[in-house]
Structure 1
Amino acid sequence: MPLTDLPLEELRRYRAEVPEPDGFDAFWETTLSAARAAADGPAEYRRVEGTPLRSVEVHDVRFPGWAGQPVAAWLILPRGTAPGAGLPAVITYLGYNNGRGRPIEHLVWASAGYAHLVVDSRGQGDATPDPD
């Protein structure tokens, strides 16, 4: 099953026809600077013990998001691999209306040898509340 709708060479050449809005770079520079300033520390990794999963290791990751509010993610790695081991990675943002779910729902990439970070949606997953 293909993961994209274009061949790799066409994806490399692809340029969207949508023009960049005025102030786009300034908006993101300001937004990211504010998020970094509100962060109270680096990402935290905690290995999840006692899962029935035998081919992967699961880490509960927390990192500061907007206004320093914590965002949760699963880092799912092939068994025997430590965070930061230099594996190719896939990052999944599930989109609004979804949370990270349970690790058993996300085994494909780690089983294929990739690091897989599955990021909760702010205010949607039970581990990433939206206090506002």
Structure 2
Amino acid sequence: MPLIDMPLEQLYSYKGRNPRPEDFDAYWERALEEMRAVDPQIELVPSSFQVPFADCFDLYFTGVRGARIHAKYVRPKHAPEPHPAIVQFHGYSWHAGDWSDKLNYAALGFSVFSMDCRGQGGSSEDTGGVKGTTLNGHIVRGLNDHPDNLLMRHIFLDTAQLAGIAMNMPEVDADRVGAMGGSQGGALTLACASLEPRVRRLAPVYPFLSDYKRVWEMDLAKDAYAELKTYFRHFDPRHEQEEQIFEKLGYIDLQHLTNRIKGEVLMSVGLADTICPPSTQFAAYNNITSPKTADIYPDYGHEHIPEVSDRTIQFMLEL
């Protein structure tokens, strides 16, 4: 098989390239304090889409900086209470998906919460308010401002807040909550369980948002990571601020967060992935200290991978 990255044995030991800011832990503790101080003002609105075995709701809550965040909530009608729950996260620029996408887990007795990322393809608000560019991407949004204003910081916090809301639902067993998603959704799965360590099981698929400097050095700042190249071309064409830029991106680099995860992890990786290179995924994976398994698919890239959905269901059923 042609290699687009390191050999597999090296991937299992690679710990990442992007710098970690010295105040990283204080940064995220401050962020979590801000999140916990928010009154979420939770609202459940019955959806026009309904099925016989579950109730479907549009769930709204207030996140950091006053944004109203939307999630689809599917609650099984006949499952014993309290029962397990899944929080789901979508790919970059997309949305929570169709209601029917959640029915397999609801039929198995899980409540399902699927979040729209603020400012992307769904119904969640983006309250804005950053200095500098808002062009072509959420990774770089806020990069010209104080690190506390990075948009991805707010989205990471939204994931943890949603997981906490799910855990507080009377019908949900807070000790049996899992998280899942692919690409950006895989990244947000890891972010969610890093910031809300009560999440018991995680199933990220080819996670995004890890080891930005490695992406750059592989000349893969294109496709999903194209905004990195755009940012340098517009704001630092001679790369005079390269070190400071990558260090600031380190605040929202998953490889530095994942050592907080307490739940069990099943991560799916395609070794032919040129969108989220395998080494960047392993940078996040190798910093996880809780029980973990990497499912390796040598011939697959950033695409639908057979068996992943089935293996994820089997993994989550152990909740």
1:121 lines up with 2:117 in the alignment: yes
1:69 lines up with 2:55 in the alignment: no
SS at match of 1:107: helix
State the match for 2:56 in structure 1. Answer: 58
AA at the equivalent of 1:54: P
Q: Deviations over 1:78-108 (max 9, x none)?
A: 12469xx421111111143121133123212
AA at the equivalent of 1:31: A
1:27 lines up with 2:27 in the alignment: yes
SS at match of 2:83: coil
AA at the equivalent of 1:44: E
AA at the equivalent of 1:106: K
| Aligned residues of 1:35 and 1:68 also touching (Cα < 8 A) | no
Residues 58 and 106 of structure 1, relative CA distance in 2, 3 Å threshold: same
1:110 lines up with 2:106 in the alignment: yes
Distance 1:90 1:108 in 2: 11
Distance 1:81 1:47 in 2: 19
Q: Which has the higher strand share?
A: 1
Distance 1:53 1:30 in 2: 42
Q: Which has the higher helix share?
A: 2
Distance 1:129 1:92 in 2: 18
State the match for 1:45 in structure 2. Answer: 44
Shift of 1:33: 1.9
SS at match of 1:88: strand
State the match for 1:13 in structure 2. Answer: none
AA at the equivalent of 1:26: A
Distance 2:16 2:34 in 1: 27
State the match for 2:96 in structure 1. Answer: 100
Shift of 1:70: 1.0
Residues 52 and 30 of structure 1, relative CA distance in 2, 3 Å threshold: closer
AA at the equivalent of 1:124: Q
SS at match of 1:106: helix
Distance 2:79 2:65 in 1: 32
Residues 33 and 92 of structure 1, relative CA distance in 2, 3 Å threshold: same
AA at the equivalent of 1:24: F
Gaps of 5+ in 1: 1-15
| Aligned residues of 1:62 and 1:71 also touching (Cα < 8 A) | yes
Gaps of 5+ in 2: 1-13, 129-319
SS at match of 1:72: strand
Shift of 1:68: 2.1
Shift of 1:25: 2.1
Q: Deviations over 1:41-68 (max 9, x none)?
A: 43222232x4342222112111122312
AA at the equivalent of 2:24: F
SS at match of 1:34: helix
Q: Deviations over 1:19-42 (max 9, x none)?
A: 9933332111111222343x3443
1:79 lines up with 2:87 in the alignment: no
State the match for 2:194 in structure 1. Answer: none
